[in-house]
Structure 1
Amino acid sequence: MKKMFQRQWFSPQTSIQGKIFIAFALVTFLSIASITGIVYMNMRETIKHNAVTSVSNSIRQADESLNIMLEEIDRLNAVVVTNKNSVIDTIMSPNEEPSYEWFQEQKRMTEFLSALTNYKPYISRIAVVGLNGKVFFTGGPWLDRSVLGTPVLNYMLRNGSRHAYFKAEGSSETLTVGREIRYNRESVGVVMVDLDYEFIKKTYGVKPTTDSMLYVLDEQDGYVYQSESEASPDALPLNMVVQIKQSMKGRNDAVEQTIHGRSYIVVSRYSEYTGWSTIALVPLDSLLTESTRIRNLLAEVSIIVFIVILIVSHQISSRTTLNIRRLKSMMSRVKDGNLSFPKTEIKTKDEVGQLYQVFIGMVEELKSLLEGIRMTEKKKREAELTALQAQVRPHFLYNSLNTIKYLAKLNGVPNIEEVSGSLIELMRGLLGNSNEFLTLQEELDYVNSYVSIVKYKYLELIQVLTQIEDESLLQCKVLKLMLQPLVENAIMHGIGPTENGGQVLIRVYAEDQDVLIEVIDNGKGIAQEQVAELLGSLERDDASSRFSSMGIRNAHERIVRMFGEPYGLSLHSELGLYTKVEIRFPKIQHAESSAQEVI
């Protein structure tokens, strides 16, 4: 069994089991590989899509939350810049520090600003700075007139006609939202609200992976916010972030880009309210780390499933081809000549079971044929013995006839000498010549020998005449014993019953490519109504007709079988006048080749 398994395993091209096993293996491998690949790619794309969706939604939510805060701050700023009694009059009053009036102004302004910022934890400080040097604020850190001339104040004066946003370069603690205070079309001060930067960090804390990066750029391409990973080796410089922003052209979109040899998903969003651009960079390798782990797990499961299916397919192919192997074993035993093997019955009704039934029938038929061959060989041996005996008997008969002929000659009996001599020649031609074809001359010699024997049977002489149209026809090949039975029939049945003697004419002539031999006797003849019956008897092998003797029928059948229609024998007769039998056959000089051409 082990050797059989090894042979089947290592010979898949010649084993049905091997072919079935390989087919199962290929189909299984392709199916598992395809399913695993499709699942992994779909999972990979799903993770990327979910990451893009999550980051985009988080950025959108963060942007909307920040916009809500900024709108509230803008409303606060609008309240401040439009309040003349509490703000503008206080800024423009001549009271200076440290007068009582100044102290009252400070108290009133602080209470006013505190009332505005209560219950707004995202505001760390609100300040009103007059260009005359008066500074009012609530919250921290401390602020005094040193703020005059600083970049933040100058920026608010230049851009704060409605609202302006400022984040000092290098600062990561404050985002300032300000607005210019005007009176009589002149700038008299600035209101500034500092946002708690922790709220901004929490708002933009979008990190699908630990090494993801998020940047918020203002309209001047300065940082409003950048993730805490800017200190990492993968952090991008500002100019690179600006290039990415410019490549996105203010679209809310997500694309894949390779930056510094590393693939990222770049998600961008542009805020119509603030004019800020948010850029999120998510590294693909980090994002797909989980998918890689799942891919490896899928590969391990696929290998295990593939091995299990290989084992199962081997068992299935082995069971499927079990009957084929049994049938092969039976055929091998038959090939070795063993027909008496115990039959392993195959009961399946599939093609193998049908093949088994056909094979059993073939074996039974083979047994019958072998038995027939044995019987034929036995009969052949018996025939060989009979043939050997037949060879001895003619030899003995020749010697006996020669003795009779010699004694007749010694005693002066010429008729006995002639009969015995003719009989010797006739028997020598019949028994000594095994060729199927003879020349017409040889066939006429046999007829003459027969006539020499039979003429002594009748009191009156029967003349047998031969008329040859062309002497070359005597060398044509004819079937052996074709003419003698006809002459015998003419003498015995045509002339003999009259007992008045008679004449038999043998006429030989050519017609186109055929040779015709007519045997005509002047005997009692045959009535016309019997001619058709006699001709039919030749075809029906009717034993009641005088033309149905073995020799006559044999001559007709041999000619027809050898040369086909229209060759053979035909009969013409008139009652009381004559009977004519006509033989037609093709003119042939060389019996074997010519006969093959006719056939």
Structure 2
Amino acid sequence: MPETAIRPKLHKFLSTIRGRILFITLSLTAAIGVIVIFISYFLVSNNLRQNLLQTSETTLSFLRSSIDSNMEGVNNYIRSCQGSDKIQKFAMEAATTDNRVKREAHDFVTSTYASNSALPSHLVRMVIIGKSRKDIVQLVEASYSTSRISSEAILSLPYFDDLHMHPGEAYVGIQEDSFVTRQAAMIPFVYPIQHTYKADETGYIFAEISINTITEPIRDYLSRTDYQFYIKIGSNLYQYQNNTLVPCPDDITVVDAYPDMALHENTLIQKVYSENTGRVSFMITQPLVMDGWYVMTEVDTHTLSLNILHSFLLILLIIIIAVSFIAFVLFSFLSQTINVPVGQLQLRMKRIEEGDFSRDDSTEWEHELGDIGKTINDLSENVLHLMNQRIEQEKQKKDYEYRMLQSQINPHFMYNTLNSIKWMATMQSATGIAEMTTALSRLLKNISNGTTSLISIQQELDLVQDYFTIQKYRYGGTITLEIQIDDEGLLPCQILKFTMQPLIENAIFHGIEPKGCAGSIRIHIYKDSSGDIHIEIQDDGVGIQPEVAAGLLVQDTSAGSSFFKEIGISNVHKRLQYEFGSPYGLSIDSTPGQGTVVTILLPFTQRKE
């Protein structure tokens, strides 16, 4: 609808009491909503960020507990081996031909190992070495492919001395296992075996812990989150990637710290900057049970902002719904108090205008508007007797005039009458009535001249536009017509009168109307390479089933209008073939649910003057 047509209607609506109440209600609720939204954003954003970081901290706490549980199981087993008299006896004695001591130590190690089902996936190798003997007691996970191993090979490892100086600590971080045929990452430890009665060191326990001890809990938690996890072992930093731990540079610079946000005293929440990635993020760190071990999770600031935005949008939606509900309740109350009585008074005045002067007690409320209703009822009763008499006289007069008109009416009189109605409508600015009257007048004149004469395409388009004008007002402007002409030189060419109109009518009644919503019709006129004229009439209606479309050109179907009930699609097709020959006529292409295209094929024949 043009903007010039909308503005007067909007101004008229806002000048009414209903419009003013609606405008004030919407303005107040909108202002309240904006204020509440801004206050909510500033108050809630910090809380949302803290809640999201604390949720990440809670997730990290669960992960830390899982890793600690795994490591404590391994540590407890190794401590039990350290304190076993069988292990101590094996480490103190020199190698002999009697393997009883070694067998007892081996039996203790394997039986204790087998009693804990979680150990095989965490402790992949443990070797007991005595300083005074060459042989060893080795425990290795069954699926672990290994090469020959000796005490000399273990003692000659490049990191053994560092581990010996830091007993029970993963001082060197993650290393590649030197005693397997395939590449395998593990965390090595060295534990001393003390003499039973002295402070001397009699041997060592060399242990290799699988990185699954760390990666399995992380993998379980990553199935429910999209966090980035890191493990710091001593001075070595590792990132969890693809079920393994990958070394990464410790290039993190602390930008700010947030100790008040942490739920636990041992949690460190920091805003950090990574020189490697060039991004700012939040890093949450918690210590593990192993000395010098830390588990960390990274929360990207962009992700955090998106989470805050999503949470705020949810709050915003709730506020909008609440404000809308308040506005609806307020508008309903004001409508019942003012709009409904005013509307009833308007209807009462409308009925009086239409000749109903009977008393209406429903408009006599117990407030000021009720006084107006009572006054209207009193006035209507005072003139009711005179009006009834006047109405009876007017009715007799109209009946007489109608009988006179019936006896004298003819087409010429109808044209003049329609023209008079058009001019009266024009003078009263009722452009729609004037337009419909003009269109109907031209249609009646064309109907009275028959349907067999040849006219130009331009005249046929004028006739279609007259018909469409009437239908457009009938359907309240919900249908539109678009005409595209590729060559203006085609307009003088000849076509049978009322060729397009039945197709337009069929598109409206059987295509667009069943759809139950607005629709459009498009007329496209062009000439093909052979010189014939194509007129495509396309609608976006419900379409036609293929078997129905195939029968339309042979069945004696007709349009639904009382004016054009004798001009069906099959009749149009036959008339065109009779006039121009069998190669010409109609063709139908329809897709159910999308619309229909009816094509008129005509020869290029100029109208003779």
Could you state the TM-score of these two structures normalised by the residue count of structure 2?
0.43
Could you state the TM-score of these two structures normalised by the residue count of structure 1?
0.43
